[in-house]
Chains A and B, each alone.
Chain A
Amino acid sequence: MFNFDILLQQILNGLVLGSVYALVALGYTMVYGILQLINFAHGEILMIGAMVALTVIQVPAVAALPGPLQMVVALLASIPACVLLSLAIERLAYRPLRGAPRLSPLITAIGMSIVLQTVAMIIWSPNPHSFPDLLPSEPVAIGGASLAPKQLLVLGVAAVMMAGLSLMVNKTRLGRAMRATAENPRIAGLMGVNANMVIALTFAIGAALAAVAGLLVALNYNIVHFSMGFTPGLKAFTAAVLGGIGNITGAMIGGLLLGVIESLGAGYIGPLTNNFFGSHYQDIFAFVVLVLVLLLRPSGIMGERVADRA
């Protein structure tokens, strides 16, 4: 007998996972849309965000506050930290290479990612730290399934941030400038858009989203360590490509879809294949779906045609 409650639970878990991917994927996709650059250091921004948040809530004065308030204080510190860091990286490692061959900024991005991880390892030690539960752990029932409050928080925060970002990109002057720069930086410049400013703001917004995602990941898994940015970064990049890289709605859809696929894959791949493939193959599942989607739609679910240079 097929159990619908388990299916619902898997989908909900997938949506929680996918919300985090989507938040991080937005950072990748916005930068890519404008600069055609895979910002490999983006996952590290998430890690720094989580680390700063942990450091803040360990301060005795903050630790005495109630849980939700601690999170707000942590974000007040981690968002500016991540934004400044991201702006510094853009200034230092990406801006001088505009107009250089396309793979050159990719290499500086990888280099930056290694440097950030190592610096974090020196500052916060190579050992993982446990991250306290800041919310009550009583699960909330939804239909036949249940979610912990922190998971609900992930869903809510991600939804609000994505809605806000959509509004900003589609309705405000800054959003219009961003879209114009993405379409054609030169013409946008002629129309009076300050391209460097727009690019810097794009990095800043991406970093702020990553800082929030960092706190959510830390809260959800109760653990932070210096290499924690790698996997969400990789998955988010996959999600951005799945949705059509450069497309903001695509990143949201791709993130949620990837989360659900992974969760369903991990839950059902064993029974479906008679336990020949166990849940270790969950990542394969995600990548196989990616390949299939790209075979049918070579530029992702929502993607537009992209330039053909590697």
Chain B
Amino acid sequence: MIRSFFPGLSGNPAAAFLAAAGVGLVLLVLPLAASELLGNFWVRLMAMALLYVMLALGLNIVVGFAGLLDLGYVAFYAVGAYMYALLASPHLAEQFEWIARLFPDGLHADIWMIVPLSVGIAAFFGVLLGAPVLKLRGDYLAIVTLGFGEIVRIFLNNLNSPINITNGPQGITGIDPIRIGGVPMPRSLEFLGIEFNRLHLYYYLFLALAVVIIIVSIRLQDSRIGRAWMAIREDEIAAKAMGINTRNVKLLAFAMGATFGGVAGSMFAAFQGFISPESFVLMESIQIVAMVVLGGMGHVPGVILGAILLYAIPEALRIVAKPSQIFLFGEELIPTEALRMLLFGGSMVVIMLIRPKGLWPAPRHGERAPPPAVSAQQA
């Protein structure tokens, strides 16, 4: 499993293990160094990047492994986030008297309940989306999943009347921090003489979850199910002929992919303390698709790289853009927001043109003949 991250060291397991340990150590020290040298903004950025790694790996199961284009993935992220927000904020108790009576201390869900529950509910939504669209192919699937994402967002936006469940466009505030075993995440913690603040602790929590998701992804990829997904991706009819129950296997892909999104969503809600439908727009889904494709569809290390780059570059530009323009030209020629989007969109185009299969594509076992398409050389 470590091998896929260090292709150059495939003949040398000991060296690969050492390299993995080195990367792990860097990942552990990184937030401490960043907040010491650069400020907490960068720790927050790293924590969010880890959430996007989880999201991209989840979508990678659907798009990368099973080859089903999903443009509404953010719906599962939203489902996870709203589930956590409802179970760990005063909102429900304020709206419904019977809930207030049942839980006199208010709702405070624990991580041991949140993670399995978000996995379960997101998987349910995955099947809910998957079941009616199984017959659809290619881009028909894309538009229906896109519609699904929009439907979920519109419901979140409007379910504040006649019964107030989601609090509509105002979103839900006052969400608890994560609780582990009944103990809420402390605002700061001293351990071994090192001061960890809240952002560091979330970073480590997200890192742990991301590592679990990475391991699950790679194990899935090499499993019988993973091979079935890839068989469907390459040729659905042939896969069927080989005895794969394509319906169940596709549903499983939707459900598995959704679970990662659900977990990431619940973590996002805990991390932000506030959520609203604004965070779950179509552009977000498109961005996650871009992470998967740009990194290298179906290749776990590539997808991780894509997620980190596509999240970190625009965010970093937020604070780097203005000073560097002033340094280079003596004034701010293009507003930061515009420059950010320009570089973001531009880099998507340029990277794809230079590396059409993604930055770090999966190594191919046997090249297939390209499908009959118009070649660029044709006069």
Determine if B140 and A113 form an interchain contact, defined as CB atoms under 8 angstroms apart.
no
Determine if A298 and B137 form an interchain contact, defined as CB atoms under 8 angstroms apart.
yes
Determine if B345 and A112 form an interchain contact, defined as CB atoms under 8 angstroms apart.
yes
Determine if B147 and A290 form an interchain contact, defined as CB atoms under 8 angstroms apart.
yes
Determine if A307 and B162 form an interchain contact, defined as CB atoms under 8 angstroms apart.
no
CB-CB contacts of B130-167 with A at 8 A, as 1s and 0s?
Answer: 00110111111111101110110011011000100000
Determine if B373 and A118 form an interchain contact, defined as CB atoms under 8 angstroms apart.
no
Determine if B67 and A309 form an interchain contact, defined as CB atoms under 8 angstroms apart.
yes
Determine if B372 and A110 form an interchain contact, defined as CB atoms under 8 angstroms apart.
no
Chain B positions 236-286 with a Cβ under 8 Å from a chain A Cβ: 236-237, 282, 286
Determine if B136 and A298 form an interchain contact, defined as CB atoms under 8 angstroms apart.
yes
Among A9-17, A160-168, A189-197, the stretch that binds chain B is: A189-197
A contact set with B: CB distance below 8 Å: 32, 35-36, 38, 92-93, 95-101, 103-108, 110-115, 117-119, 121-122, 181, 184-186, 189, 194-196, 199, 234, 237-238, 241, 245, 276, 278, 280-281, 283-284, 287-288, 290-291, 294-295, 298-300, 306-310
Is B379 an interface residue, CB under 8 A from the partner?
Answer: yes
- State A186–B378 Cα separation when bound (angstroms): 9
Q: Are A308 and B237 also in contact (CB < 8 A) when A93-B349, A104-B356, A185-B374 are?
A: yes
Q: Which 9 residue pairs across A and B have the least CB separation, nearest first? A: A114-B345, A111-B348, A100-B356, A287-B147, A115-B345, A111-B349, A185-B374, A118-B341, A310-B69
Return chain B residues, CB-CB under 8 Å to A103.
Answer: 63, 69, 289, 293, 297
21 residue pairs of the A-B complex, CB under 8 angstroms, read A93-B353, A101-B297, A104-B293, A104-B357, A104-B358, A107-B294, A107-B352, A110-B348, A111-B344, A111-B348, A114-B341, A115-B341, A196-B379, A276-B162, A281-B158, A284-B155, A287-B148, A295-B135, A298-B137, A298-B140, A310-B137
The A interface, classified by DSSP as helix, strand, loop or mixed, is helix
A274: nearest chain-B partner, CB-CB? B162
Determine if B162 and A189 form an interchain contact, defined as CB atoms under 8 angstroms apart.
no
Return chain B residues, CB-CB under 8 Å to A294.
Answer: 133, 136, 140, 144
- State A241–B68 Cα separation when bound (angstroms): 16
Q: Are A106 and B353 also in contact (CB < 8 A) when A194-B379, A281-B158, A284-B151 are?
A: no
Return chain A residues, CB-CB under 8 Å to B1.
Answer: none
- State A103–B162 Cα separation when bound (angstroms): 42
Having A111-B345, A307-B371, A310-B141, one finds 5 other A-B pairs with CB under 8 Å, namely: A115-B345, A185-B373, A196-B378, A298-B135, A310-B67
* Nearest CB in chain B: distance from A102 CB, A: 8
Number of interface residues of B (CB under 8 A): 62
* Nearest CB in chain A: distance from B91 CB, A: 20
Determine if B372 and A185 form an interchain contact, defined as CB atoms under 8 angstroms apart.
yes
* Nearest CB in chain A: distance from B131 CB, A: 10
* Nearest CB in chain A: distance from B139 CB, A: 6
Return chain B residues, CB-CB under 8 Å to A291.
Answer: 132-133, 144, 147
- State A139–B158 Cα separation when bound (angstroms): 34
Return chain A residues, CB-CB under 8 Å to B143.
Answer: 237-238, 241, 290
Return chain B residues, CB-CB under 8 Å to A32.
Answer: 139
Determine if A118 and B374 form an interchain contact, defined as CB atoms under 8 angstroms apart.
no
- State A279–B37 Cα separation when bound (angstroms): 52
Determine if B158 and A280 form an interchain contact, defined as CB atoms under 8 angstroms apart.
yes
Determine if A245 and B139 form an interchain contact, defined as CB atoms under 8 angstroms apart.
yes
Is B366 an interface residue, CB under 8 A from the partner?
Answer: no
CB-CB contacts of B168-183 with A at 8 A, as 1s and 0s?
Answer: 0000000000000000
- State A309–B151 Cα separation when bound (angstroms): 25
Is B370 an interface residue, CB under 8 A from the partner?
Answer: yes
Option from B137, B146, B356, B378 in Cβ contact (under 8 Å) with A97: B356
Determine if A97 and B154 form an interchain contact, defined as CB atoms under 8 angstroms apart.
no
* Nearest CB in chain A: distance from B238 CB, A: 11
Determine if A97 and B352 form an interchain contact, defined as CB atoms under 8 angstroms apart.
yes
Chain B positions 301-344 with a Cβ under 8 Å from a chain A Cβ: 334-335, 338, 341-342, 344
* Nearest CB in chain B: distance from A233 CB, A: 11
Option from B137, B148, B297, B338 in Cβ contact (under 8 Å) with A122: B338
- State A101–B69 Cα separation when bound (angstroms): 13
B286: nearest chain-A partner, CB-CB? A110
Return chain A residues, CB-CB under 8 Å to B293.
Answer: 103-104, 106-107
- State A278–B168 Cα separation when bound (angstroms): 13
Determine if B138 and A280 form an interchain contact, defined as CB atoms under 8 angstroms apart.
no
Return chain B residues, CB-CB under 8 Å to A115.
Answer: 341-342, 345-346, 349
Q: Are A122 and B334 also in contact (CB < 8 A) when A97-B352, A294-B140 are?
A: yes
- State A300–B137 Cα separation when bound (angstroms): 11
Q: Are A121 and B338 also in contact (CB < 8 A) when A99-B375, A104-B352, A310-B68 are?
A: yes
Determine if B138 and A308 form an interchain contact, defined as CB atoms under 8 angstroms apart.
yes
- State A100–B352 Cα separation when bound (angstroms): 10
* Nearest CB in chain B: distance from A126 CB, A: 8
- State A119–B334 Cα separation when bound (angstroms): 10
Is B233 an interface residue, CB under 8 A from the partner?
Answer: yes
Is B109 an interface residue, CB under 8 A from the partner?
Answer: no
Return chain B residues, CB-CB under 8 Å to A122.
Answer: 334-335, 338
Determine if A184 and B69 form an interchain contact, defined as CB atoms under 8 angstroms apart.
no
Determine if B137 and A306 form an interchain contact, defined as CB atoms under 8 angstroms apart.
yes
Return chain A residues, CB-CB under 8 Å to B69.
Answer: 103, 310
Return chain A residues, CB-CB under 8 Å to B137.
Answer: 298-299, 306-308, 310
Return chain B residues, CB-CB under 8 Å to A287.
Answer: 144, 147-148, 150-151
- State A307–B140 Cα separation when bound (angstroms): 11
* Nearest CB in chain B: distance from A224 CB, A: 18
* Nearest CB in chain B: distance from A206 CB, A: 17
Determine if B140 and A245 form an interchain contact, defined as CB atoms under 8 angstroms apart.
yes
- State A100–B374 Cα separation when bound (angstroms): 11
- State A181–B378 Cα separation when bound (angstroms): 13
Return chain A residues, CB-CB under 8 Å to B357.
Answer: 100-101, 104
Return chain B residues, CB-CB under 8 Å to A117.
Answer: 341
Is B18 an interface residue, CB under 8 A from the partner?
Answer: no
Is B290 an interface residue, CB under 8 A from the partner?
Answer: yes
Return chain A residues, CB-CB under 8 Å to B353.
Answer: 93, 96-97, 108
Return chain B residues, CB-CB under 8 Å to A185.
Answer: 372-374
Determine if A99 and B237 form an interchain contact, defined as CB atoms under 8 angstroms apart.
no
